[in-house]
Amino acid sequence: MAGLSLKAKNIAPLSVLVVIQLIAVTMVNRHTFDTSLLDILKDTGGTMLAISVLAGWLSHLMPADLKNALVFLRWRNVLPGHRFIQLAEKDTRIDIDLFKTRVVDYESLKSDNKSQNSYWYREFYRPVTNQDEVVTTHKSYLLYRDAAAVSLISAVILVLAKLLIDMQMAQIGFDSVWVFAIAIIGFIVAARNAGQRMVTTAIAVSLTTIVTE
Protein backbone atom coordinates (compact mmCIF):
# COMPACT_ATOMS: atom_id res chain seq x y z
CA MET A 1 0.00 0.00 0.00
CA ALA A 2 1.35 3.40 -0.92
CA GLY A 3 2.17 5.75 1.94
CA LEU A 4 0.65 9.14 2.51
CA SER A 5 1.75 11.87 0.13
CA LEU A 6 3.79 14.77 1.46
CA LYS A 7 0.78 17.08 1.03
CA ALA A 8 -1.37 14.72 3.10
CA LYS A 9 1.29 14.62 5.82
CA ASN A 10 1.30 18.42 5.82
CA ILE A 11 -2.41 18.78 6.60
CA ALA A 12 -1.89 18.74 10.38
CA PRO A 13 0.88 21.39 10.50
CA LEU A 14 -0.93 23.44 7.86
CA SER A 15 -4.05 23.39 10.04
CA VAL A 16 -2.00 24.62 13.00
CA LEU A 17 -0.68 27.52 10.92
CA VAL A 18 -4.25 28.39 9.94
CA VAL A 19 -5.38 28.28 13.58
CA ILE A 20 -2.53 30.57 14.64
CA GLN A 21 -3.61 33.13 12.04
CA LEU A 22 -7.24 32.89 13.19
CA ILE A 23 -6.10 33.48 16.77
CA ALA A 24 -4.09 36.50 15.61
CA VAL A 25 -7.12 37.88 13.77
CA THR A 26 -9.21 37.45 16.92
CA MET A 27 -6.58 39.29 18.97
CA VAL A 28 -6.42 42.16 16.48
CA ASN A 29 -10.18 42.65 16.70
CA ARG A 30 -10.52 42.16 20.45
CA HIS A 31 -7.31 44.06 21.24
CA THR A 32 -6.55 41.48 23.90
CA PHE A 33 -5.15 37.98 24.21
CA ASP A 34 -7.36 35.29 25.67
CA THR A 35 -5.40 32.15 26.61
CA SER A 36 -8.54 30.10 26.09
CA LEU A 37 -8.04 30.62 22.35
CA LEU A 38 -5.10 28.23 22.54
CA ASP A 39 -7.42 25.42 23.60
CA ILE A 40 -8.30 24.82 19.97
CA LEU A 41 -4.74 23.59 19.39
CA LYS A 42 -5.40 20.84 21.94
CA ASP A 43 -8.65 19.83 20.27
CA THR A 44 -8.33 16.43 18.61
CA GLY A 45 -12.00 16.23 17.75
CA GLY A 46 -14.45 18.00 15.50
CA THR A 47 -12.98 21.51 15.49
CA MET A 48 -9.50 20.57 14.36
CA LEU A 49 -10.94 18.04 11.92
CA ALA A 50 -13.09 20.78 10.38
CA ILE A 51 -10.11 23.14 10.18
CA SER A 52 -8.01 20.37 8.61
CA VAL A 53 -10.64 19.79 5.94
CA LEU A 54 -10.92 23.54 5.33
CA ALA A 55 -7.14 23.98 5.12
CA GLY A 56 -6.82 21.06 2.72
CA TRP A 57 -9.61 22.40 0.54
CA LEU A 58 -8.19 25.92 0.43
CA SER A 59 -4.72 24.60 -0.42
CA HIS A 60 -6.16 22.93 -3.54
CA LEU A 61 -8.05 25.99 -4.80
CA MET A 62 -4.91 27.53 -6.29
CA PRO A 63 -3.11 25.61 -9.07
CA ALA A 64 0.42 24.44 -8.29
CA ASP A 65 1.93 26.62 -11.02
CA LEU A 66 0.30 29.71 -9.55
CA LYS A 67 1.48 28.80 -6.04
CA ASN A 68 5.03 28.38 -7.32
CA ALA A 69 4.78 31.74 -9.09
CA LEU A 70 3.58 33.30 -5.82
CA VAL A 71 6.58 31.93 -3.93
CA PHE A 72 9.26 32.86 -6.44
CA LEU A 73 7.54 35.96 -7.85
CA ARG A 74 8.07 34.83 -11.45
CA TRP A 75 5.69 34.05 -14.30
CA ARG A 76 8.07 31.84 -16.27
CA ASN A 77 10.54 29.18 -15.14
CA VAL A 78 9.27 29.63 -11.60
CA LEU A 79 10.76 26.59 -9.88
CA PRO A 80 14.17 26.65 -8.17
CA GLY A 81 15.12 23.68 -10.35
CA HIS A 82 15.05 26.07 -13.30
CA ARG A 83 18.20 27.62 -11.79
CA PHE A 84 19.75 24.56 -10.18
CA ILE A 85 23.22 25.26 -11.58
CA GLN A 86 23.32 28.79 -10.19
CA LEU A 87 22.08 27.53 -6.81
CA ALA A 88 24.61 24.69 -6.73
CA GLU A 89 27.48 27.08 -7.38
CA LYS A 90 26.58 28.94 -4.18
CA ASP A 91 26.22 25.85 -1.96
CA THR A 92 29.39 24.99 -0.04
CA ARG A 93 28.27 21.37 0.41
CA ILE A 94 28.63 20.70 -3.31
CA ASP A 95 31.93 19.77 -4.95
CA ILE A 96 31.70 22.00 -8.01
CA ASP A 97 34.35 20.12 -9.99
CA LEU A 98 32.51 16.82 -9.48
CA PHE A 99 29.22 18.58 -10.17
CA LYS A 100 30.44 19.87 -13.51
CA THR A 101 31.42 16.36 -14.58
CA ARG A 102 27.84 15.24 -13.94
CA VAL A 103 26.19 17.99 -15.97
CA VAL A 104 26.35 17.53 -19.74
CA ASP A 105 26.98 20.77 -21.67
CA TYR A 106 27.35 22.65 -18.40
CA GLU A 107 27.75 26.17 -19.77
CA SER A 108 25.01 25.94 -22.38
CA LEU A 109 22.58 24.40 -19.87
CA LYS A 110 23.43 27.12 -17.38
CA SER A 111 22.01 29.73 -19.73
CA ASP A 112 18.92 27.65 -20.53
CA ASN A 113 16.61 27.98 -17.52
CA LYS A 114 13.77 26.19 -19.26
CA SER A 115 15.79 22.99 -19.63
CA GLN A 116 17.47 23.10 -16.25
CA ASN A 117 14.48 21.92 -14.22
CA SER A 118 13.83 18.79 -16.27
CA TYR A 119 17.54 17.96 -16.19
CA TRP A 120 17.74 18.44 -12.42
CA TYR A 121 14.59 16.38 -11.88
CA ARG A 122 15.82 13.49 -14.04
CA GLU A 123 19.49 13.39 -13.09
CA PHE A 124 19.56 14.56 -9.48
CA TYR A 125 16.14 14.50 -7.83
CA ARG A 126 14.60 11.23 -9.00
CA PRO A 127 17.53 9.01 -7.97
CA VAL A 128 17.41 10.33 -4.37
CA THR A 129 13.74 11.24 -4.03
CA ASN A 130 13.28 8.94 -1.02
CA GLN A 131 16.37 10.07 0.88
CA ASP A 132 15.42 11.58 4.25
CA GLU A 133 17.26 14.87 3.66
CA VAL A 134 15.48 15.41 0.35
CA VAL A 135 12.06 14.36 1.65
CA THR A 136 12.36 16.73 4.62
CA THR A 137 13.17 19.79 2.52
CA HIS A 138 10.52 18.90 -0.07
CA LYS A 139 7.91 18.52 2.66
CA SER A 140 8.86 21.90 4.13
CA TYR A 141 8.63 23.55 0.73
CA LEU A 142 5.14 22.19 0.09
CA LEU A 143 3.99 23.16 3.58
CA TYR A 144 5.06 26.80 3.40
CA ARG A 145 4.03 27.15 -0.24
CA ASP A 146 0.52 25.90 0.58
CA ALA A 147 0.40 28.04 3.72
CA ALA A 148 1.16 31.14 1.63
CA ALA A 149 -1.60 30.20 -0.81
CA VAL A 150 -4.13 29.52 1.96
CA SER A 151 -3.29 32.84 3.64
CA LEU A 152 -3.72 34.73 0.37
CA ILE A 153 -7.08 33.08 -0.31
CA SER A 154 -8.17 33.77 3.28
CA ALA A 155 -7.26 37.45 2.89
CA VAL A 156 -9.27 37.69 -0.34
CA ILE A 157 -12.26 35.98 1.29
CA LEU A 158 -12.07 38.38 4.24
CA VAL A 159 -11.99 41.46 2.01
CA LEU A 160 -14.87 40.22 -0.15
CA ALA A 161 -16.92 39.34 2.93
CA LYS A 162 -16.37 42.81 4.41
CA LEU A 163 -17.41 44.44 1.14
CA LEU A 164 -20.45 42.25 0.49
CA ILE A 165 -21.82 41.43 3.95
CA ASP A 166 -20.36 44.12 6.17
CA MET A 167 -23.18 43.96 8.74
CA GLN A 168 -22.47 40.31 9.54
CA MET A 169 -18.74 41.07 9.61
CA ALA A 170 -19.04 44.15 11.82
CA GLN A 171 -16.83 42.72 14.56
CA ILE A 172 -14.00 41.99 12.14
CA GLY A 173 -12.10 45.00 10.83
CA PHE A 174 -10.04 45.47 7.71
CA ASP A 175 -6.96 45.56 9.99
CA SER A 176 -7.25 41.77 10.07
CA VAL A 177 -5.91 41.69 6.52
CA TRP A 178 -2.51 42.68 7.90
CA VAL A 179 -2.37 39.41 9.81
CA PHE A 180 -2.66 37.48 6.56
CA ALA A 181 -0.32 39.86 4.73
CA ILE A 182 2.45 39.33 7.28
CA ALA A 183 1.83 35.58 7.21
CA ILE A 184 1.99 35.51 3.40
CA ILE A 185 5.35 37.29 3.37
CA GLY A 186 6.75 34.99 6.04
CA PHE A 187 5.52 31.85 4.32
CA ILE A 188 6.84 33.00 0.94
CA VAL A 189 10.32 33.56 2.37
CA ALA A 190 10.24 30.20 4.16
CA ALA A 191 8.96 28.36 1.07
CA ARG A 192 11.55 29.99 -1.18
CA ASN A 193 14.40 29.03 1.16
CA ALA A 194 13.07 25.48 1.55
CA GLY A 195 12.61 25.06 -2.21
CA GLN A 196 16.12 26.20 -3.00
CA ARG A 197 17.49 24.01 -0.21
CA MET A 198 15.59 21.02 -1.63
CA VAL A 199 17.24 21.52 -5.02
CA THR A 200 20.78 21.79 -3.68
CA THR A 201 20.25 19.00 -1.12
CA ALA A 202 19.19 16.62 -3.90
CA ILE A 203 22.36 17.51 -5.80
CA ALA A 204 24.60 17.12 -2.73
CA VAL A 205 23.07 13.77 -1.79
CA SER A 206 23.22 12.52 -5.39
CA LEU A 207 26.89 13.40 -5.74
CA THR A 208 27.72 11.84 -2.37
CA THR A 209 25.94 8.64 -3.40
CA ILE A 210 28.06 8.39 -6.54
CA VAL A 211 31.28 8.91 -4.62
CA THR A 212 30.48 6.18 -2.08
CA GLU A 213 29.37 3.59 -4.65
* Cα gap 172→201, rounded to integer Å: 43
Nearest to residue 153, comparing CAs of 40, 29, 47, 70? 70
pLDDT number for residue 2: 47
Domain boundaries, the chain: 63-212
Chain centroid offset of residue 94 CA: 24
Backbone angles phi, psi at 78, to 5 degrees: -80, -25
* Confidence (pLDDT) at 167: 58
Q: How many CB atoms lie within 10 A of CB 117?
A: 19
- What are the two backbone dihedrals, phi and then psi, of residue 94, each rounded to the nearest 5 degrees? -100, 130
What are the per-10-residue average pLDDT scores of the chain (213 residues)?
73 86 77 57 61 79 92 90 94 92 90 92 93 94 94 86 66 75 95 96 88 48
- CB atoms inside a 10 Å sphere around CB 82: 23
* Helix axes 176-212 and 113-120, enclosed angle (nearest 10): 60
DSSP class of residue 95 equals -
